[in-house]
Every structure is written in C-alpha cells, then in structure tokens.
Structure 1
Amino acid sequence: MKLLKEMIHPELSSREGRVLRRHAARGIVLREDKILLLFTERYNDFSLPGGGIDEGEEITVALARELEEETGARDVQVKNHYGFIEEYRPHWKPQYDLMHMTSHFFVCDVAPELAEVRMESYEVANGMRPAWVSVSEAVSHNQKVMARQEKTMGQSIQRETFMLEKISRELVLQPA
C-alpha cells in the first residue's frame, strides 16, 4: 500500500488529544475522459464516492456498498489499490479533539448503467448527487471554490482536489 500524502488541516494546532479514528474506502471510476463523482450542493464541491468502513467489514466490501448507496453503481469490480491519504483535522464533536482519517483509494469498474441511489438522510439534506464529469472540469471547479474560500467549503475539498489532480496526471488518457 502506497502513502500518497499526509494532510494536516491548517486549523489543527496539535495531533495530540482525544482522536476519532476513521477508515474510508473511495472509488476511482473512469470512463474515457469522465469520472464518476459526487457533487454536494452544501459544499459546492466534487468528491470521489465512498465512505466509512464499518467495524469488521472487509475494505472492498465497504467500497462496493458505498458506491452502490451513493451512486447507484452495480457490479462493482475493484481493480487495484491506488494508495491512501492520512488526514488530520479538527472534529466538531466536543468529546474529540481531532479526527484521524485514512482514506484508501481503489480503481474500479462498474456496470454501464447506474441504478437508484440509496443515500443516507444527511447526504440527501446536503444535496449530494452522482455525476459523470470530466476530471479537468471537477479540478477546475474545486480549485475555484478553494481560491474564493467559500464560507460553505467543506474540510475534505483539499483531499479531493489533490486526488483529482493526481488522477488527471496519472490515470486519465491525455489527447495525442
């Protein structure tokens, strides 16, 4: 497994204290020049689909479950582990000082047609929806949101934009 980056949120003063530890699996699903992403209205950003791994759950099973729930993807085939990011950021719950998130990224294939999504209520409330977009369009959009420092900007946009930039350089076929 390859460490892609360690990220420390600028508002975090220390990695000491009460830590909420989370592991997540996230999918990289490419079709020609498009990638399957989630657009979230609340944060005005694009992100890779995926989410938390339940206690005792196998990582690729969690990934397939998350892709199905969030995007309607079916017949998820996990091709390879692309790498992981270690992220430290403030946590909003008072019983924790920070969150340590490890996000594992996997290259996947899915069936051509997406089915109905089965998102959690907070995802629906945040205006989350799946979208096939060009990687360059998603990168450009997220970069503009960060440059404007939009008040609604979420904490994960730096991670997601880093990954989209990396995917653009390393996985997307560039025109000849």
Structure 2
Amino acid sequence: MRLIAELVHPALTTRTGRVLRRHAARAIVQRGRSLLLLYTERYDDFSFPGGGIADGEDPVAALQRELAEETGATRIRGLRDYGRVEEYRPDRSPDHDLMHMTSRFYVCAIDAELGATQLEHYEQANGMRPVWMDVEAAIAHNRAVLQRADARMGLSIHRETYMLAHVAAEAGPPADGR
C-alpha cells in the first residue's frame, strides 16, 4: 500500500523509546463531491469512518466491521487500497513514550441507505454521527477548528484534515468548475 504521508506531532521530540503501535483501517466512501464522514460533537470535527484493527484481524474485515458499526453501512464492496498514513504522536499513558499509528485507507462503495449504527459507549458520549458532507466544506470546517486550537481538539484532526485535502486533490475540481 502506497505511503501517502508521515505525520509527526510537533510536541514529539523523539521517535525512540517505548512505542505503542496501533493499526487502523479507514473508509473513503464518495458520492460526487460528498464523503461519508463522522462528525464528532465533542471535538467539532469531521473524520473518516474506521478504527482499530485487532491483533490477527484482517484489515479489510476490520474496515467492514467498523464502517458498518459507525455508519450503518450495508453491502460494503469494491474495496481497493488507497494508501496509508504513518503517524507519530505523544502517548499519554505511563507505559509508553509515543504512539505510532498506521492508518490504512480504502475506497469502497456501500448501499445508498444507511442502517442503524452500533456505536460504542464512548462514541455515543462524544456525539459521533455519520453525515454526508461536501469534501471542501469538511476541509474548511476542520481547518477552522485547527486555527482556533480549541482545548477540546483531538490529535487525529491533523491526519483527517490532511487526508480530506488529499482525497479532494486526487478527485479533481467539481464538475461545475467551483
């Protein structure tokens, strides 16, 4: 899978030490200039659906599970590799110095209608919900959140905003020329 970016959090001073390694699979579901995203009220941001890959779990199976749980997507198909992001950031636990997250992005199609979500408790508590969002509007929104540097802002918004811009750039200009 092609490497799209290596993102290093500015607060990270070294990539050595006790490393927590995480792997995630994330979905790119597009309809025209709109993407199926997750809006999280707690962080006031947009992100790609997806999540952690369990030890020994196939990345595509993890993506299908996460996409169905978080968005209610059905008949997930046409999965193809898009690329991966390697991310290094501080870890807040006493057991690790940093986290190295590998996010694998896949392009896929789903049925038009979304079913019921099966969000985990913390996702519900954070006000997470699936939305179809114009990619340029999602980028502008996330960049405004980054500019404000709100204390409640999560670390993942940097990765998500980068990938939104990458997907938009590869998709090209909208059909109406805007």
Q: Which band: TM-score by shorter chain?
A: over 0.9
Alignment of 1:112-151 (within 5 A): 112-151=112-151
SS in 1 for 2:124: helix
Alignment of 1:82-97 (within 5 A): 82-97=82-97
1:12 and 1:68 map into 2 onto residues whose CA distance is 34
Give 1:42's aligned amino acid.
R
Structure 1 match to 2:164: 164
1:107 and 1:173 map into 2 onto residues whose CA distance is 19
Give 1:76's aligned amino acid.
I
1:78 and 1:124 map into 2 onto residues whose CA distance is 29
Structure 2 match to 1:39: 39
2:94 and 2:171 map into 1 onto residues whose CA distance is 40
If the length of structure 2 is used for normalisation, what is the TM-score?
A: 0.96
Structure 1 match to 2:13: 13
Alignment of 1:59-98 (within 5 A): 59-98=59-98
What is the deviation of 1:82? 0.6
1:124 and 1:92 map into 2 onto residues whose CA distance is 23
Structure 2, unaligned runs of 5 or more: none
Q: Which runs of 4+ in 1 moved over 3 A?
A: none
* Alpha-carbon spacing, 1:76–1:172, altered in 2? closer, same or farther (3 Å): farther
What is the deviation of 1:171? 2.2
1:57 and 1:116 map into 2 onto residues whose CA distance is 24
Q: Deviations over 1:96-144 (max 9, x none)?
A: 1111000000000001110000011111111111000100110000000
What is the deviation of 1:78? 3.8
What is the deviation of 1:28? 0.2
Paired residues, number: 176
* Alpha-carbon spacing, 1:172–1:122, altered in 2? closer, same or farther (3 Å): farther
Contact 1:32 1:173 survives alignment (8 Å)? no
> Among the aligned pairs, what percent are the same residue?
53
Contact 1:33 1:172 survives alignment (8 Å)? no
* Alpha-carbon spacing, 1:67–1:172, altered in 2? closer, same or farther (3 Å): farther
Structure 1, unaligned runs of 5 or more: none
What is the deviation of 1:173? 5.6
